[in-house]
Amino acid sequence: MLSVDDLISSIREYNPSTNANLIEKAYDFGLTAHAGQMRKSGEPFFSHPVQVAKILSELKLDDASIITALLHDTIEDTAKSFKDVSDLFGNEIANLVDGVTKLSNLEVASLEKKQAENFRKLIVAISKDLRVLLVKLADRLHNMRTIRAVSNNRQLVKANETMDIYAPLAGRMGIQSIRDELEDLSFRILNPEGRNSIIRRFLKLKKESDDLIPKIINDIENQLDSIGVKAIVSGREKKPYSIWRKIQDRQQAFYKLSDIFGFRIITKNEEDVYTALGAVHSRWSAVPGRFKDYISQPKSNGYRSIHTTVSGRDGKRVEVQIRTKEMHDVAETGVAAHWSYRNGERFENPFAVDPSGWFRRISEEFIWVENSDDFIEQMKLEMFQDKVFCFTPKGEVVKLPRGATPLDFAYTIHTSIGDNCVGSEVDGIKVPLWTRLRNGQSVKIVTASGQKPSTSWEEMVVTGRAKAAIRKSIREERRVENIKLGKEIARVSLERIGKKLTDNAIKIAAEKLGLKDENSVLAALGSVQFTGFDLVNSLYPELINTKSAPLSSEQDSVNFIGLSTYSNGSPAPCCQPIPGDPIVGIAQKKTGVAVHAIDCALLASFEAKPNLWLEVRWPSVTHRSVHSTSIEVTMVNSVGVLGRICTLIGEQGANISDLTFVMRKPDFYKTVFELTVRDLKHLHNIITSIQVDMDVSEASRYRANDIKAKQIK
């Protein structure tokens, strides 16, 4: 385990004025608190907080962050309390330790609750002090370095969580070194064969090329010396996961990749950056389309650098990054540059960007997103790295992720512009809304009042802001539609028991069903969260057994012609026969005669029992005015279609007693309507009127047992 003297020595290298006594005090406090505790690897538990502190010292962080690392598990895993830490080390450090503890509790809870919900809470928590996140990232990094000591299942859980959340967060914070290592450590667990294959190819390439890296470094240094530019030149192989991602994204073989080697030129000032760029391009041929100037257009996390790809020695394509020392510090440590020290003093890096505003915006903008899975999807999209820069007609720059469309552009400017978008022009030419935007393009959005988002829009956009706004608008539209439909279902359900629909009745139903208000009842009824039967039961439970039982189950008996032994029979619920259907009776000892449609799939089970079969016919006039049956309708998933189908059914003089969504896709619904009709002709008229609708692809009679029979065959 790293000694306190060695830890303090590493801190003094960048901060000679560090409070060594306070750090030693924190070290002793943590060592005592964790006494007797062991890690899964068999090492003393306190070795972990010490290594977390060492990682933060490599980022040149302040004393408060280092001490927090040493104490970050004391409140959670020992008998020490928040007050104990506050009394000895002050409120600032106690609050930081408490913040890390809360993040750890969220992480543990993720095994039992949705990880997405924990991610939402994590974003809100770290927006208060970003040093909490830095300690957590260092904590996760050391845990991933030592993860082989835990079970394979636990390794997979942690590797997936790291790849989905912590590595992208490290990247979004600009801490590229931690992001690269977290990704590679996770890659080793999630796809060991893929990682090993990349390493084997690297070794083969080294053998074939006699290790090009030192040779290319020497070439670059000679070229810079010839023009009098002083710089530090380094080279490296890209990380295995970075190579693997490029292979997957570009669908290219390893040997075709152009940038598996990376070289970095660190200059004294920005002027030398562009001078060095000219020297590199004069010596080697630049690869078209592979030049990026992140100095004139920095990334949102503060990253600044020149990127260019050239055909270097022996025609090997290599990527070259050129930047100043200050830019390099931000590129490697990102947000940590805010708390970094140089020569014993807090160093204000002019290129460092404080991302706390980003966290606050995210927590405020997406906190209303109801679905946790939607939230985590939006967060992942917010953590993109590659961007395109487009312009408004007034020349304002709009940053978007690569692959963004004019719809993303519209929603980035304002939600109302996105919602009302009807067209777009790119560089003065009309283009479809799904067009992928490129760097430097000028975009004009055409709007019209009354326009509303379509469900197909969600497939056209890539930004979390656009996806969230589209989903919200569609939900609101569906709610209006569901309220209208629910009102009709409520009216019909209450009229069946001789009651009228009133505002007061729905208000009482809301109280009984535990819903917010009358519209919530109608919306839930229209979206089939509960049925008209449930509504009636909440208001008139004493009538439920006599007048309001669902028509699809127990029905009144019918005096069928042809019955002798038995006085009456009942339509079988499996096939729901109605007047006009050829029928047959099946004698049953306990329930009398069950009358089936002659084509009912269940009749096959009675073929060996001919003595149970009875010839029956419908009476010329049944004592029931209506009969229960069902139809299946496949319709376009668009605002107003479902309501229109319900209206068509009502216009034909039929009632909807229930409806069920058997399939719900982004582009269509498949819905089963349970109806009360007079006879077969009445049913055919209803189906015909529905089939005529342009948004209906199929409408037919529905029998559940016919479906089951087909599945059995």
What tens digit of pLDDT does each residue of 470-495 get?
Answer: 888 888 887 887 888 788 888 877 87
- Domain final position from 167, 190, 213: 190
Q: Exposure of 588 by Cβ count < 10 A (0-12 exposed, 13-18 middle, 19+ buried)? A: middle
Q: Is residue 412 part of a domain?
A: no
pLDDT at 188: 92
Cβ-based neighbour number of residue 694 at 10 Å? 7
256 and 328 together in one domain: yes
In this predicted structure, the answer to whether residue 225 has a pLDDT above a threshold of 80 is yes
- Domain final position from 312, 334, 356: 334
At residue 707 the predicted structure's pLDDT band, cuts being 50, 70 and 90, is: very low
233 and 174 together in one domain: no
At residue 551 the predicted structure's pLDDT band, cuts being 50, 70 and 90, is: very low
Q: Is 77 a catalytic residue?
A: yes
pLDDT at 664: 76
Q: Which of 24, 76, 425, 706 is catalytic?
A: 76
47 and 141 together in one domain: yes
Sign, Cα dihedral of 234, 237, 241, 242: positive
Q: Is residue 347 part of a domain?
A: no
pLDDT tens-place string over residues 601-651: 888 888 888 888 888 888 776 545 678 899 999 988 877 788 888 888 888
Q: Is residue 286 part of a domain?
A: yes
| Distance in angstroms (rounded) separating the CA atoms of residues 642 and 639 | 8
Q: Is residue 561 part of a domain?
A: no
- In 488-580, the DSSP E strands lie at 569-571
For the ranges 21-30, 95-104, 418-427, 672-681, the lowest mean pLDDT is seen at 95-104
- Domain final position from 162, 190, 218: 190
For the ranges 9-23, 30-44, 256-270, 419-433, the lowest mean pLDDT is seen at 256-270
Q: Is residue 339 part of a domain?
A: no
186 and 219 together in one domain: no
pTM attached to this predicted model: 0.55
In this predicted structure, the answer to whether residue 272 has a pLDDT above a threshold of 80 is yes
173 and 38 together in one domain: yes
Identify the CATH number of the domain in which residue 176 sits.
Answer: 1.10.3210.10
Of 597, 594, 602, whose CA–CA distance to 568 is shortest?
A: 594
| 3-state SS, residue 64 | helix
Q: Which of 24, 58, 77, 706 is catalytic?
A: 77
At residue 367 the predicted structure's pLDDT band, cuts being 50, 70 and 90, is: low
235 and 180 together in one domain: no
In this predicted structure, the answer to whether residue 305 has a pLDDT above a threshold of 90 is yes
**Residue range of the domain that includes 226:** 195-334
- In degrees, rounded to 5, the angle at the alpha carbon of residue 78 between the alpha carbons of residues 72 and 79 is 125
Residue 667 CA to its chain's centroid (Å): 20
Where on the phi/psi map is residue 400: left (φ > 0), alpha (ψ -120 to 50), or beta?
beta
210 and 177 together in one domain: no
In this predicted structure, the answer to whether residue 382 has a pLDDT above a threshold of 90 is no
Residues 6+ apart with CB under 8 A from 315: none
Name the average pLDDT for the chain.
81
216 and 310 together in one domain: yes
247 and 326 together in one domain: yes
Residue with more model confidence, 199 or 446:
446
Q: Is residue 672 part of a domain?
A: yes
Two structure tokens written together for 666 = 């982004």
pLDDT at 455: 79
pLDDT tens-place string over residues 652-701: 888 888 888 888 777 788 899 999 888 898 899 899 888 878 888 899 99
Identify the CATH number of the domain in which residue 699 sits.
Answer: 3.30.70.260
Residue with more model confidence, 554 or 317:
317
654 and 512 together in one domain: no
Residue 400's identity, in one-letter code, is: L
Number of domains in the chain: 4
Q: Is residue 615 part of a domain?
A: no
186 and 200 together in one domain: no
Q: Is residue 465 part of a domain?
A: no
Residues 608, 680: contact at Cβ < 8 Å?
Answer: no
Identify the CATH number of the domain in which residue 205 sits.
Answer: 3.30.460.10
At residue 53 the predicted structure's pLDDT band, cuts being 50, 70 and 90, is: very high
Q: Is 98 a catalytic residue?
A: no
Residues 388, 408: contact at Cβ < 8 Å?
Answer: no
98 and 125 together in one domain: yes
Sign, Cα dihedral of 629, 634, 638, 644: negative
pLDDT at 108: 43
| 3-state SS, residue 274 | helix
